[in-house]
């Protein structure tokens, strides 16, 4: 196995309510972490300006908006995101082939478009509530195949599906994994979780970690503890 460089693999989720709090985290962690996720909470509060501010701080941005709308609307949103200069953007694969193709067509640069499969907060009961009677693994693989055939660059899936997706697609796609919980943290509302070491060993390209870092009294200490967990992979 090649040497693992944690700085290249970890995306810190800026799941905070304000620009000031987000930029404080970027300043604290920027010497160790180069990639930060901006999700719905922060983007709704601060708008595109928070993206520009994080990029201006020298970081890379994963804009996690999980777009799911009519194809034309999604295409225009993707165009706007690509013009902001973000490195990765999410769409929901349940939007279907036409929407996915529209998203790809809306991109104006080399921004990676990632397809969300099944949220890590979901389980098979959740699927049944929305009319899906299949097992989670099967549904994730079905959506991932749809995404790959329509041109996405990668998928977002729980740690439990990493090996299956890597076996199916090899290095054809990026696999970005939320639901990462260090051994010393609580799972919270995530139902399908894994430690950072387990997820990288299974074949994840990027680990999205939020609350174990963001809510820690000393975020840099949390990062250091995660790096320690990963050191055995180097």
How confident is the model over 166-179, as pLDDT tens digits? 999 999 999 999 98
- Domain assignment present for residue 66? The answer is yes
- Domain assignment present for residue 69? The answer is yes
Q: Give residue 150's domain range.
A: 6-233
Residue 198: both structure tokens together: 């387990």
Report the pLDDT averaged over residues 76-100. 97
Report the pLDDT averaged over residues 98-118. 96
Residue 26 to residue 220: CA distance in whole angstroms: 11
- Domain assignment present for residue 1? The answer is no
Residues marked active site are found at: 66
Which residues 6+ apart lie within 8 Å of 134 measured at CB? Answer: 127, 142
Report pLDDT for 125. Answer: 85
Q: Note if the pTM is more than 0.75.
A: yes
- Domain assignment present for residue 104? The answer is yes
- Domain assignment present for residue 202? The answer is yes
- Domain assignment present for residue 137? The answer is yes
Residue 148 to residue 163: CA distance in whole angstroms: 17
Report the pLDDT averaged over residues 208-216. 93
Domain count along the chain: 1
Q: Which of 30-39, 122-131, 196-205 has the lowest mean pLDDT?
A: 122-131
- Domain assignment present for residue 216? The answer is yes
Which CATH number is 103's domain given?
Answer: 3.20.20.70
């Amino acid at each position: 196995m090649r040497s693992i460089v944690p700085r290249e693999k970890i995306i810190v989720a800026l799941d905070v309510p304000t620009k000031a709090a987000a930029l404080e985290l970027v300043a604290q962690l920027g010497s160790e972490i180069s990639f930060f996720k901006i999700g719905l909470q922060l983007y709704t509060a601060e708008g595109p300006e928070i993206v520009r501010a994080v990029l201006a701080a020298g970081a890379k941005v994963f804009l996690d908006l999980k777009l799911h709308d009519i194809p034309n609307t999604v295409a225009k949103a993707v165009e706007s995101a690509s013009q902001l200069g973000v490195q990765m953007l999410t769409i929901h694969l349940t939007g279907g082939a036409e929407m996915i193709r529209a998203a790809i067509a809306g991109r104006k640069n080399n921004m990676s478009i990632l397809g969300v499969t099944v949220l890590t907060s979901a389980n098979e009961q959740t699927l049944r509530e929305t009319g899906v009677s299949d097992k989670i693994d099967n549904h994730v693989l079905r959506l991932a195949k749809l995404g790959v055939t329509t041109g996405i660059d990668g998928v977002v899936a729980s740690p439990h599906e990493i090996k299956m997706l890597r076996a199916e697609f090899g290095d054809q796609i990026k696999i970005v994994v939320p639901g990462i919980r260090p051994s010393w943290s609580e799972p919270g509302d995530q139902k399908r979780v894994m430690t950072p070491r387990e997820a990288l060993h299974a074949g994840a390209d990027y680990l999205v970690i939020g609350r174990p870092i963001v809510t820690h009294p000393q975020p840099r200490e949390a990062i250091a503890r995660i790096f320690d967990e990963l050191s055995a992979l180097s």
